[in-house]
Structures are given as C-alpha cells and as structure tokens.
C-alpha cells in the first residue's frame, strides 16, 4: 500500500474544472514532482493534499488514513511556499519553533529541535535574524526548516525555487534533495521548470489540462514521452511526419524507409502518423546502430559554446540536432549537403 | 471555508453603513420640513435667497482658489527642483510640508495674529487686504501636506530627470521645460491636490473666525445658532460638495498623464506635443 | 512676494552646467529658497514666536512661569478633558475601523462593498466641522429624526435614559463619524499586506484560526494599529470647529480655551496662551512622530 494516495480527485471552481480525475500513488520516502505549465492544475492538487482545497470528489489518504475531509492543521504536513511566507514578526528561531510550540512541545525540546534544524540548513549563525534581514535563498531555507521541524509525514514544496536567482536555484535544489534523502521524507514538489524536475525527482508527474499525462522516472519521461504534450514540454523534440509503408512497423520518413521498434498503433486511414526524435539521437557521423540516414540541406548552424546546433531540411521535414564542439571540428557550411544518422530504435511514435 | 454565509461580516458592514447613512437621511429629512406640515425645499430656497450666504460663499470660494493657485506655484517647482537637483533636501522639505498636521489651525492663527499684529515689523492684520492675504496664506499652509504629497507622487510616476534632460537636449530652457514638459505631466496630480484643498478651505472656520473675515465657515456657525432648518440644508449641500471634490480628486489622482477627456486648465496645448 | 517664486529658477536654469558643480559655489539650493522662505514666514516663524513667548513674561524676560501656570487646575482640567475625549474617540474609531475593515476586506464580502466603503470613507473623513455637527443635531438632537422615531415607534426615550448628544459621550460619537472612516482608510492597506500564505503556513503547521490571529495577524498589525490610533488621537485633539458648532464656547477642550483666549474672553495673559499653544503642539508632535516611527516599522515588515 502506498504512503500517499490520491484517487480520482476532481476539483471544480464554479463552472471551471481544474483537476479532472487525478490518480497518484506515492511510496514512502519518494520524491515526486508535478511538472506542467501554469494552469495545468498542479498547484491545485498540491493544495488538496495540504487541505487548503477540498476535492469536489475523490479521495486522499496518507499512511492508510483518509484525510479528504481533514482540516489542514490536523494533517501533519509540512509545506514550503513560493514566496517564502516566513512570519515577519518572528526571527529565524521563532519561525522554526512555531510548529513545535503549537504542538505543545516543551521548551528544552523545542530549543534542541530548532538547533538541529538550523544545523541541517547550515544557518546556525542567523538564528536571531528577522526575515527582512535575509536574502531570498536564506529565507527559503528557513521556510524549509520550519516545515520540517514538527516532523511532518509529507513535505509539500510549491514552486519553492522560482522566486530565486538562477545560481541559487541550482544550489538550493541540490540541498533540498540532499536533506530529503537524509530524512527519507515523502515529498511532493511542484514546478514548471522541466530541468528542475528532471534533476531532483524520483518520479515526475507531467500534468496537462487537469490530468496526469504521464507518470514515470525522469528518464522514462524524457526518452519515452507517451504524448505529444509530454514530448514537447520536456526538452526539445523533432516531430516528423511519417507514412505507414507496411504493417506492422515499417514506415517512410522523409523518403527513407525505417523499421520501427514497436508496431504502429495510431496511423490514420491514409497511413499517416507522427514520429518523434530527440536531437541528441542524431549525429553527422555514422556509427554502429545508427541504421537510418537522412540526406538533406544544412539550413543553419548555431554555435552555442560546448555544442553546435544544426538545422537541416530533409525531404521537406525540418530536423535539428546538436553536435559537441571540439577544437578540430569543422562544422558543415550553411547550404551544404549533409547526412544525419539516427538509430531506428530511438524513433518513437507520438500516440496523443 | 468560503461556503458558509459570512454572517458576522455582513452584520458589521450593515451596522457601519447605517451609522454613516442615517445621519445623512435624518439631516435631509429635517431640511425638507421647514414649511410646517409638508416636505419641500423651502430651506434650500431660503439659503440661496440670503445675501449673506452669497457674499460669504463667494468670498470663501475666491480665497480657496487663490490659495490653490499660490500653493501650486510654491509646491510644484519646489517638489520638482528637490527631486531633480537637491535630493538631499527632500526629507527636510517633506518634513516641513507635513508640519501643518502637527500645528493645529488655532495655534497657527494665534501665531499669525501675534507675529503680524499692529506692533509687528510686517503689520498685515492692520489692513483688510493684509488680513485677506494672511487668511489665504494660512489656507496654503493647511493644505500643504496634501498638495505636496499629491504633487510628489505625481512626480514619482514620471522620470523627471530623464524628461528634463530630453527637453534640454532638444534646446528647451529650464523655465520652458517646467511649463511645457513637467507641469502638464503632473497637472492631474495638482488638480487632485487642488480639490482636497478646496474642500478643506471652503468651510474653514477657525482661521476665518479669528482673523475676523466674512467667510463661509463663521457664517455657518452663526446660522447654526440662529436658525433650525437652513443649517440642515447647508449640511446636506456641503456633504454633496465634499463628495464632489473627493470624486473629482480621485478621478484626477488615478488619471494617467496624457489622457484627454477633461477640460484643459492651462493654455499651450500645441507646445506640449512638440516639446 | 509670493508671485516671483518661479523667477530665480528662470535666471538660474541655463547657467547651470551639470558637470561644473565641484569647483564652483553650488547655487542649487536657491531653487528651494522660495519654499523655505514661505515656510519660515507663515509656518515655522509663527510657531517659534509662540514657543519663545511661552518662556517669556509680559516684559519679555525669560521665565518658566507660563509653563508652571499650565499646572493650574482649570488648564489641567481642559487638557485632561481634551486628552480623555481624544483617547476615547481614537479608541472607538480604531476598534470600529479595524472591525469594519476586517469584515469588509477579509470577511468574504463581494468586492463592490469594499469599493463603496472606500469611496464613502474618503468623503466622510473630510466631512468634519460645522456641517457634521448640524447633521448630528438633526439626527440625535432632542428633536432629531432618530430620537423622535425611537420615542414614537419604540417608546424609547433616549434623553430620559441618560443619552445626551451635547455631552462628552455624545461628542465622541460625533467624532466617530470622521474617525471611523479615517481608520478604515489607513488600516485597509495593512490588512491587504497580511499575506494569505502566512495564514496557510500557520494552518499547515497546526495553528487554529485563533492562534493565527494571536501569534501572527495581530502582532504584525500591532505597529500599524497603534500608529493609526495615535493619528486618530491627534486628529481628535486638534478638532475645534465641530466642538464649537455643537457645544458653543462652553465646552473647555484645549483648542476652545485657546480660541476664547485669542478672542480675549478668558485669559488676560497672552504668554499663558503661548504656553497653551506650546502644549498643544507638543502633544500633536509627539503623537504624530510616534505614528511615523511605527509606520516605518510596519512597512519594514510588510515588504
């Protein structure tokens, strides 16, 4: 039995259904991210777990206990907000101690726990500071400590990094992940940044229009996106028109015949279907396993530092891919003819 | 949380609303009862037919308008200059402009009477014109906190340093810059401050009474002692007047510079677009 | 004198090269000279004159007699009356304004209710003085509409039950008409500044609604509330016209005593009048200064 489970959750505001039949089972100690564009319902699901929104229908259980109708202050959940939300009238120690005081913990125990949490986030020297005297990154770490202090069953992170600078964002997300691993706390993380979700999560829930489009590990999500939306939202993608040549899995792409790894499932009456191909699956050099060759015209060459992005036109299809830069490498000239090689097993059908 | 009907907030709001509205209704009703046995606007007619009403309201209107004009002439260039050239002085100027909130009018006018009295180096109170001027300048002082804040907020919205440099790089003199670039851009702010000044000074009692000027405020008090129904009519009218001033103030305070659906109060429409 | 204020600027303008400030005399201060001249002549000067006079006897010699004379029973009584009236009306205004703002802004009422109260408050907070007194006489005076209606419809005789508009309590009720909206206007932004996340953070950490208000909401608002209270206090303390129109010259709050003194009706020593004025300015100054300090503290928190 999973630790946190959401069963067929629906949330309607007025006539607008924001979450439409959402199912998720999270194991104890797992780090799960909700990834999606704004308005996809990810924050609403998070707020339903927290208890700030009551599901219109559906059920939420934590550790086997039905919490669907439980008030937020009875759920033993820790939450970190996007805008820090530290209490401005209390210093760092006061903020971290808040949940412990409410729980009625003794003075000595509270003090010890606050020190422990300060050590955990590496801010022991700032215990007396007030929120307005600290940087955003420091405030967010205090908010994390405050959420963790009362030993919650579940930790919810609502876009905790999006108000921060790019550099701090990266270092803090690693810190969050590290702390989460050490404490082994079940965590749900909401973000619209796919790189963030990829780097931090055990599993990712890609949300779109109030539904979970795909649930899987970062590598599954990236390499085997199950819908066009997931494929497009997570990384860049070449989408190619293809035509079913022969059942079950031989297709024609840009004039080249390709033997797919899986049988075709979604070809229309005329045999048309869409194939997807990650840019990094393409290369100008032939190698073992790259059994498909696309001949075409180089349309543009963009130098981007460690990589060079090349766009080509192959039989009317636009493809783009990256090649690693190296001092002795001579990139192809714009307008020149070139051949891009790919492996047929990296090409997958977009089913929705 | 939101599903239950907000009983307590609704009751609170209703209670407050009735506290605000009932006196107005009562006053209005009272003002209609002048003619025994029927409701009518006799009290209002009586007010408008009174020569004293007309002279005092005219006097106070002129005094208020002159105060607004002088206030604008003093405050606008100062606020502009402080922002542009001497930002270090801004706290001092702001502090002084807020001082009238600390000095009650009765204290201020007491100082005037003593400082500008008959034995003074500048005996303003000995002549009618001098006393009139003192009254007007007193109104300028009383409205200074509001006027300064309105204008300063107006200046904060536009980037005056850049605007000034832009105008000067195009060859405009500084006076021309103020008249054709800065002033039109803060005009809405000035007008908003002006309406507040107007609503403060039109019915002002203390200064006018102690300087012994035939203004509207003292007339109102006298009327309150002599009559029953006219004061109610005047209270309703002055509430309506205050309302009008506040609404116009709001309109101008929230209006963006350059919006064009209000009558222009200054000339030179063409230069503004070319400057 | 006031007409030529813009003139120095015109002369100065073109002759002021931006880069040439260092080596030369800085003439920039001249641009604010008209303002300082005006303020000194018609605001600071008169007040300083009174302050100086408060420490002089009629011959112009330095003395503390006037300050000591402020301790005489009738003056102490009027300061006491003024302070009590201002405290009561400020307390009533602060509590009522806070409750109203809380109900209207956080109580889940539709947005137009707030808009209506805000507009009305802007008007009512400026609707003081003589007309306000007239309005309350027409409402709660002996023949006021509410008085009469209560008597005729409900058989409640307000004046027989101890209420009197022309009394300490009646006056503070009149003051409430401009104090309440003023409080509403200045406390509303502070209530907006209470972030929704604070309540949610407190809630998820186990706090009840009551605990939230006790430990976070009210402590965060406290400097603002106290500051507003002081502002209302000063507002009531300086009020003269409303009292005068309602009570005549017989109700001895400090501004009325000073008013009468200036008219030459009460005290025969002008220097004592100066001391009275000084006392008023000090009380107003202290409460306004504290207000500004508390406001800046509150703003720091609500960044």
Q: How many domains does chain B have?
A: 1
* CB under 8 A, 24+ apart: contacts of A282-289: A282/A238, A282/A319, A282/A321, A282/A340, A282/A341, A282/A342, A283/A321, A283/A323, A283/A340, A283/A341, A283/A342, A284/A310, A284/A323, A284/A332, A284/A338, A284/A339, A284/A340, A284/A341, A285/A341, A286/A339, A286/A341, A287/A341, A289/A343, A289/A345
**pLDDT given for residue A352 in this prediction:** 63
* Of the listed ranges A169-173, A227-231, C210-214, the one predicted with least confidence: A227-231
* Statement to judge: residues A33 and A126 lie in one domain: yes
Range of the domain at A177: 4-232
Looking at the predicted structure, is the pLDDT value of residue A334 above 60? yes
Is residue C1's pLDDT more than 60?
no
The pLDDT assigned to B270 comes to: 40
Does residue B12 sit within a domain? no
Out of A192, A207, A232, a domain closes at A232
In chain A, the percentage of residues whose pLDDT exceeds 70 is: 99
Is C90 touching B (CB cutoff 8 A)?
Answer: no
Which residues, in sequence order, are CB contacts of B11 under 8 Å at separation 6+?
A: none
Would you list the domain boundaries of chain C? 73-301
Q: What is the pLDDT of residues C13-57, one digit of tens each?
A: 444 444 444 445 677 778 889 999 999 999 999 999 999 888 988
Number of domains in chain A: 2
Residue A198 per-residue DSSP state: H
- Residue B270 resides in a domain: yes
pLDDT score recorded for residue A28: 94
Residues of C in contact with B36 (CB under 8 A): none
- Bridge partners of A252, per DSSP, are A243, A257
Q: How large is the average pLDDT for residues C2-16?
A: 39
Who has greater pLDDT, B237 or C266?
B237
Same domain, A25 and A157: yes
Is residue B21 one of the residues assigned to a domain?
Answer: no
Is-cis flag, bond preceding B255, omega within 30?
no
Give me the CATH number covering residue A326. 2.40.50.100
Q: Which of C197, C198, C204 sits opposite A73 (nearest CB)?
A: C204
pLDDT band at A177 (very low <50, low <70, confident <90, very high): very high
The confidence band for C10, taking pLDDT boundaries of 50, 70 and 90, is very low
Nearest chain A Cα distance for residue C118, angstroms: 27
Per the prediction, chain C carries an average pLDDT of: 84
Statement to judge: residues A195 and A240 lie in one domain? no
Q: Assess whether pLDDT exceeds 70 at residue C204.
A: yes
| The CATH number, out of the four listed (3.40.50.300, 3.40.718.10, 1.10.3720.10, 1.10.10.10), of the domain defined by the range C73-301 | 1.10.3720.10
User: How close C196 comes to chain A (CA, Å)?
Assistant: 9
Question: Which of chain C's residues have a Cβ under 8 Å away from the Cβ of A143?
Answer: 201
How high is the pLDDT of residue B258? 56
Q: Which of A175, A210, A232 is the last residue of a domain?
A: A232
Integer angstrom CA distances of residue A292 from A280, A289, B33, C61: 14, 9, 99, 109
Question: What pLDDT does residue A143 have?
Answer: 95
User: What is the rounded (10 degree) CA torsion for C247, C250, C254, C259?
Assistant: 90
- Determine contact: C230 vs chain B, CB below 8 A: no
Quick one: pLDDT at residue A61? 94
Is residue B45 in a domain? no
Q: Domain containing A46 — which CATH number?
A: 3.40.50.300
Q: Is C191 on the interface with A (CB under 8 A)?
A: no
* pLDDT at residue number B257: 54
Say if residue A200 is in the same domain as residue A155: yes
* Least confident span in A11-20, A176-185, B48-57, C122-131: C122-131
Q: Inform me whether the pLDDT recorded for C93 exceeds 90.
A: yes
| C196 pLDDT above the threshold of 80 | yes
Same-domain pairing of A190 and A83: yes
A21 with A116, same domain: the answer is yes
Interface contact A81, partner C, CB < 8 A: yes
Radius of gyration of chain C (CA): 25
Nearest Cα neighbor of A157 from A55, A216, A263, A78 is A78
C206·A73 Cβ contact <8 A: yes
Let me know whether A160 and A275 are in one domain.
Answer: no
Q: Which two tokens stand for residue B242?
A: 């205050």
CA C189 to chain B, closest CA, distance in angstroms equals: 17
Q: Higher-confidence residue: A350 or C14?
A: A350
Cβ contact (<8 Å) for C43 and B100? yes
| Nearest CA distance, C150 vs chain B (angstrom) | 13
Task: Answer yes or no: is B26 within a domain.
Answer: no
Question: At C108, is the pLDDT very low, low, confident or very high (cuts 50, 70, 90)?
Answer: confident
- Do residues A174 and A269 share a domain? no
The answer, for B154 touching chain C at a CB cutoff of 8 Å, is: no
Q: Is the pLDDT of residue A130 over 60?
A: yes
Give per-residue pLDDT as tens, A248-306: 888 888 888 888 888 887 778 888 888 888 888 888 888 888 888 888 999 999 888 88
| One domain for residues A308 and A176 | no
Half-sphere exposure (Cβ direction) of C270: Cα atoms closer than 13 Å? 18
ipTM of the complex: 0.82
Scan residues 29-88 of C and list those with Cβ closer than 8 Å to B. 29, 31-32, 34-36, 38-39, 42-47, 49-50, 53
Residue B123 or C204, more confident: C204
- Which pLDDT score, from 0 to 100, does residue C21 have? 45
Give the C-alpha separation, A42 to C197, whole Å: 17
- With a cut of 70, which residues of chain B have pLDDT below it? 1-4, 255-275
Predicted pLDDT of residue A205: 95
| C8 pLDDT tier (thresholds 50, 70, 90) | very low
Residues of C in contact with B19 (CB under 8 A): 176-177, 180
In a domain, B6, yes or no: no
Q: State the pLDDT at residue C303.
A: 52
Q: Please report the pLDDT score of residue B131 as a whole number.
A: 93
Using one digit for the tens of pLDDT, what is the confidence trace for C276-299?
899 999 999 898 888 888 888 777
B247: chain C residues, CB-CB within 8 Å = 119
Write the DSSP assignment of A170-181 as a string of letters. Answer: HHHHHHHHHHHH
Answer yes or no: do A248 and A221 share one domain: no
On whether both A250 and A112 belong to a single domain, the answer is no
CB contact under 8 A, C216 and A146: no
Which chain B residues are closer than 8 Å to C281 by Cβ?
102-104, 107
Distance CA C65, CA C70 (A): 9
One domain, residues A92 and A171? yes
CATH number at residue B253: 1.10.3720.10
Domain end residue (candidates: A162, A197, A232): A232
Range(s) of the domain holding residue B65: 51-274
């Amino acid at each position: 039995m999973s630790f946190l489970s959401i069963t067929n959750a629906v949330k309607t505001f007025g006539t607008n259904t924001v979450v439409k039949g959402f199912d998720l089972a999270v194991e104890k100690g797992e780090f799960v991210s909700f990834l999606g564009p704004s308005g996809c319902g990810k924050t609403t699901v998070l707020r339903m777990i927290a208890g700030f929104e009551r599901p219109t229908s559906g059920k939420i259980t934590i550790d086997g206990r039905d919490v669907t109708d439980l008030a937020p202050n009875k759920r033993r959940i820790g939450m970190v907000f996007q805008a820090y939300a530290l209490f401005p009238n209390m210093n760092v120690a006061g903020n971290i101690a808040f949940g412990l005081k409410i729980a009625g913990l003794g003075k000595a125990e509270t003090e010890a726990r606050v020190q422990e949490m300060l050590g955990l986030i590496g801010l022991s020297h700032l215990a007396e500071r007030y929120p307005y005297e600290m940087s955003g990154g420091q405030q967010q770490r205090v908010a994390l400590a405050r959420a963790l202090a009362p030993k919650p069953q579940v930790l919810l992170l609502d876009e905790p990094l999006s108000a921060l600078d790019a550099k701090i964002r990266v270092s803090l997300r690693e810190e969050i992940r590290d702390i989460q691993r050490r404490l082994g706390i079940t965590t749900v993380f909401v973000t619209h940044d796919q790189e963030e979700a990829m780097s931090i999560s055990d599993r990712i829930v890609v949300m779109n229009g109030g539904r979970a489009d795909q649930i899987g590990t970062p590598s599954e999500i990236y390499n085997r996106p199950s819908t066009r939306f997931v494929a497009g939202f997570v990384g860049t993608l070449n989408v190619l028109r293809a035509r079913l040549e022969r059942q079950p899995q031989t297709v024609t792409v840009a004039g080249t015949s390709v033997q797919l790894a899986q049988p075709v499932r979604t070809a229309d009456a005329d045999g048309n279907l869409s194939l997807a191909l990650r840019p990094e699956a393409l290369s100008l050099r032939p190698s073992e396993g790259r059994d498909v060759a696309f001949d075409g015209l180089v349309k543009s060459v963009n130098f981007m530092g460690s990589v060079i992005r090349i766009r080509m036109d192959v039989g009317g299809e636009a493809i783009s891919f990256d090649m690693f830069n190296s001092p002795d490498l001579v990139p192809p000239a714009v307008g020149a003819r070139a051949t891009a090689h790919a492996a047929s097993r990296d090409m997958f059908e977009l089913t929705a | 949380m939101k599903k239950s009907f907000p009983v307590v907030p609704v009751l609170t709001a209703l209670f407050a609303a009735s506290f605000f509205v009932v006196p107005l209704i009562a006053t209005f009703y009272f003002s209609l009862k002048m003619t025994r046995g029927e409701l009518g606007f006799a009290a209002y007619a009586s007010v408008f037919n009174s020569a004293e009403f007309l002279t005092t309201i005219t006097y106070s209107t002129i005094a208020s308008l002159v105060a607004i004009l002088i206030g604008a002439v003093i405050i606008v260039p100062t606020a502009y200059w402080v922002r542009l050239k001497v930002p270090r002085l801004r706290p001092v100027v702001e502090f002084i402009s807020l001082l009238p909130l600390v000095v009650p009018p009765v204290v201020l006018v007491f100082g005037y009477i003593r400082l500008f009295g008959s034995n003074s180096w500048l005996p303003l109170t000995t002549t009618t014109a001098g006393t009139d001027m003192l009254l007007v300048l007193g109104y300028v002082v009383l409205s200074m906190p509001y006027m300064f804040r309105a204008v300063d907020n107006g200046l904060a919205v536009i980037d005056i340093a850049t605007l000034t440099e832009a105008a000067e790089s195009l060859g405009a003199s500084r006076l021309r810059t103020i008249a054709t670039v800065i002033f039109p851009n803060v005009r809405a702010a000035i007008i908003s401050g002006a309406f507040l000044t107007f609503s403060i000074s039109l019915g002002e009692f203390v200064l006018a009474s102690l300087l012994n000027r035939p203004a509207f405020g003292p007339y109102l008090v006298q009327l309150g002692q002599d009559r029953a129904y006219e004061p109610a009519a005047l209270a309703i009218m002055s509430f309506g007047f205050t309302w009008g001033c506040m609404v116009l103030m709001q309109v101008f305070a929230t209006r963006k510079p350059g919006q064009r659906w209000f009558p222009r109060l200054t000339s030179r429409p063409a230069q503004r677009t070319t400057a | 004198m006031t007409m030529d204020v813009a003139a120095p600027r015109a002369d100065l303008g073109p002759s002021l090269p931006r880069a040439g400030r260092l080596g030369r005399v800085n003439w920039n201060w001249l641009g604010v000279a008209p303002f300082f001249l005006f303020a000194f002549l018609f605001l600071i000067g008169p007040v300083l004159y009174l302050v100086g006079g408060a420490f002089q006897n009629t011959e112009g010699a330095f003395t503390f007699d006037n300050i000591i004379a402020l301790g005489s029973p009738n003056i102490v009584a009027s300061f006491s009356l003024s302070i009590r009236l201002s405290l009561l009306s400020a307390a009533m205004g602060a509590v009522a304004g806070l409750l109203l703002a809380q109900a209207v802004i956080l109580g889940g009422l539709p947005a137009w209710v707030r808009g209506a109260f805000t507009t009305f408050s802007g008007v009512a907070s400026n609707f003081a003085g003589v007309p306000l007194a007239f309005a309350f006489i027409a409402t709660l005076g002996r023949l006021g509409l509410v008085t009469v209606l209560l008597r005729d419809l409900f058989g409640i005789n307000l004046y027989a039950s101890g209420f009197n508009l022309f009394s300490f309590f009646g006056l503070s009720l009149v003051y409430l008409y401009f104090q309440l909206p003023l409080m509403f206007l200045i406390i509303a932004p502070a209530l907006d500044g209470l972030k929704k996340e604070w309540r949610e953070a407190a809630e998820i950490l186990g706090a009840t609604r009551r605990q939230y208000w006790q430990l976070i909401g009210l402590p965060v608002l406290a400097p603002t509330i106290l500051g507003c209270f002081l502002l209302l206090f000063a507002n009531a303390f300086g009020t003269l016209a409303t009292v005068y129109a309602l009570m005549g010259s017989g109700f001895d709050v400090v501004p009325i005593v000073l008013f009468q003194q200036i008219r030459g009706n009460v005290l025969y020593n002008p220097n004592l009048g100066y001391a009275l004025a000084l006392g008023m300015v000090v009380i107003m100054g202290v409460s306004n200064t504290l207000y500004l300090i508390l406001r800046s503290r509150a703003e720091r928190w609500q960044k």
